[in-house]
Amino acid sequence: SRLQRITRGKLVFLQKMGELVSDIVQEHSAKFQSMLNEVQDSLNMSMVGQGPLRDLWLVRFLIGFKWDIKTAGEKYRNMMKFRKEYGLDDIRNQLKAGMKPTQFPGYHEHHSCYECTFDLVSGRSKNGSPVNIEQTPKFDFQGLVNIPPEIADRYLMHNLEYHFFVLDNIFLQTGRIPGYIKIMDLTSCSMKQVMWIRKWQSNVTARRHRLGVEILECYPECFSKVCVVHAPMFFTAIWKLVHPFIPARTAEKVSVTSNSSKSKEVCLDLIDKSVLPSFLGGEYIGEWRMLTNK
């Protein structure tokens, strides 16, 4: 079936989660040096081009854009200009100083409409990856659409910077290239909700024009796995609409499961049952979302 073909898509150029960045640089030393030469003039535009984070972010762009030096270099330079123009280093410094997600501009507007978490409160995956879970069909899509674009933009910048602040800290502690595990639970998804994807597409296009960049391309390799579970039988229709608007490398990492028992199996392969929320087949029954006082 088409759904099975989506799920079995080859993970081209996929590096193992947790691989040492120094090993990747050594193994691909010629291409890494070429990338370094390609972006040399932009390295001093942000803290992510300096110190130990330099190699990590260069490797992310090389992997994210399939070791195409010209493309990776162009996207990296665009990212640096974007960081400088919109003050992403200032956000990073605020995170270092202890800013919490609840303090992000637009947090309350968004999270009154979301059913999701930045990080799973109960713990991390079996290999130490942070876990991001969302129950997408429970979103208030009309409420999200009503959020003013300038608030939505600033919230997304803070959101992505937070995710990479977490990942960068894991790298600084381990030397390894980390990625989030994302689980999208589509339980009770209805065809009526598919109409909102068209509005989401329009918003993504409008944001790209406002910011002058595709913001997700500024944060490559955020996810090591994306698991869509409890997918409805009409998921292929959803995928056709969503696929063109997400980075190619992210699309390659998507697995799709419809069957309830198989969905549980997929989640438990990645996350211990004591950590996995019960609605996904685990044993954790407490508050799974990041709490407002965290």
**Cα separation, 170 vs 172, whole angstroms:** 5
Q: Is the pLDDT of residue 12 over 50?
A: no
**d(C-alpha 266, C-alpha 206), whole Å:** 35
Token pair, residue 160, equals: 């992505």
Amino acid identity at 34: S
Sign of the C-alpha dihedral, residues 96, 97, 101, 106?
negative
pLDDT tens profile 114-147: 988 888 999 999 999 999 999 999 999 999 999 9
Reported as a pLDDT band with limits 50, 70 and 90, residue 1 is: very low
* Confidence at residue 291, expressed as pLDDT on a 0 to 100 scale: 55
Q: What is the pLDDT of residue 281?
A: 96
List helix spans (H) across 8-119. Answer: 21-27, 29-39, 53-64, 69-86, 88-96, 107-111
- For CA atoms 114, 119, 121, 127, give the dihedral sign: positive
pTM score over 0.85 = yes
Amino acid letter, residue 210? R
Q: Is the per-residue pLDDT at 16 higher than 90?
A: no
Instruction: Identify the CA nearest to 244 among candidates 224, 216, 211, 210.
Output: 216
Query: In whole angstroms, what is the distance from residue 249 CA to residue 158 CA?
Result: 22
Please state, rounded to an integer, the average pLDDT across all residues of the chain: 90
Beta strand 180-185 with 131-134: parallel, antiparallel or unpaired? parallel
- What does the pLDDT average to over 273-283? 96
From residue 264, alpha-carbon distances to 122, 276, 277 in Å are 17, 10, 11
Which of 8-22, 24-38, 166-180, 259-273 bottoms out in mean pLDDT, i.e. has the lowest?
Answer: 8-22
pLDDT value for 96:
97
69-105 pLDDT per residue, tens: 999 999 999 999 999 999 999 999 999 999 999 999 9
Is residue 4 over pLDDT 60?
A: no
- 10 Å Cβ neighbour count for 99? 16
Residue 96: Cβ-neighbour burial (10 angstroms; 0-12, 13-18, 19+): exposed
